[in-house]
Amino acid sequence: MLNYLEKKCHFYLLFLVILIGNGCAYFDIEELKSTPKSNNEFAQALSESYLEFALYEMNEMHDEMDASYFAKKGISARKNIDISPELINNWDIDDEYIEIVNNKRKELIFTLNTERAALFPKLSARTQLGFDCWLEQLEEGWQTEHIKKCYDMMNTGLITLANDINHNTDVVEKVNSIKSNKNKENDIEEAKNIKEIKKIDDVEKKLKFEIYFAHNIYKLNNETKITLKDIKNTYNITNNFIIEVVGHTDRSGTDEYNILLSKLRANEVEKYLISLGIDNKNITSYYYGESRPKVVTADGVREKINRRVEIFLNDNKN
């Protein structure tokens, strides 16, 4: 009888704890909804992002504690209280992730304090939410798809803010839509098949050049543009040339993202060559992401030599 009563008491105690936790999350979320909107665009966007995440944690994941926590962050944001990205020591994260999380937090804080971030408050807010939910998911440690989704939200935002990209363009929408390895395989297949008609088959006739990119950058700087002009003028490149442009990345990002980043790099070089007067019919672009490194590294390693676009020239057009 005592055992029965003891078990029953434990059950009711557990139920009460869950009920109280759920109630706290609910009331915190309702308070966030009713809090007057901030006149600061970033703060308001941040509060909306935290509201979305709090609702997801409560309704989908049934994690009332985290739902309440992020709802309170949203309330503070609406009150124009400075809300920084999550502190790493607030979360119980495996040691293997500590270094990369520290690096990403530093990169995030630097990026959020740039003029470009101020121009895109909604994107900046989503980028910070991506970091925070990444830490929350790393602590839970078992939902690999959720971990990846949060990381990609953060990393896509960081790369977008670091480059001269309008975050409403199809390019960034494509980044955000990459969900699985199937997308990666489709892009790789596209990279293999695109414009095969103009491929240079005689390797001995190729002239090869390489240009390099800073981490997470695909836009051409002035130095690179001068180099491309010099190549065109030195070798008197005309429309009798067949040109292949091949984009690559290092292994510091996800496979899916690197496919797109390598494509952006190749496209930028192709567009600039066209602006120099070369017919686009004579230029073929390929992109392979991180799959063809010049220097072999472990996954996640930054390597300048691998962040490149290769340019092949053949002056014997068939």
Q: What is the mean pLDDT of residues 150-158?
A: 87
203 or 106, higher pLDDT = 106
Cα separation, 303 vs 307, whole angstroms: 7
Per-residue b or e along 69-98, where b marks 16 or more CB atoms closer than 10 Å to that residue's CB: bbbbbbbbbbeeeebebbeeeebebeeebe
Residue 165 confidence (pLDDT): 45
Read off the pLDDT of each residue in 203-217 and give the average, rounded to a whole number: 78
pLDDT given at position 124? 92
What is the spatial distance between Cα 160 and Cα 37, in angstroms, rounded to a whole number?
27
Q: Is the pLDDT of residue 62 over 80?
A: no
CB 261 within 8 Å of CB 214: no
Its pTM stands at 0.50
Write the pLDDT tens digit of every residue in 162-195: 764 444 344 444 444 543 344 444 444 444 433 3
Which CATH superfamily does the domain covering 181-314 fall into? OmpA-like domain (3.30.1330.60)
pLDDT at 309: 94
Rounded mean pLDDT, 119-133:
92
User: What pLDDT, in 10s, does the model give residues 7-58?
Assistant: 444 444 444 444 444 457 788 888 888 899 999 999 999 999 999 998 888 8
Task: Provide mean pLDDT across the span 290-299.
Answer: 87
Domain ranges of the chain: 2-177, 181-314
Strand order of the β-sheet with 207-212 is 207-212, 308-314, 242-247, 283-287
Q: What is the mean pLDDT of the chain?
A: 79
As a whole number, mean pLDDT of residues 134-158 equals 87
pLDDT given for residue 310 in this prediction? 93
The pairing of beta strand 242-247 with beta strand 283-287: parallel
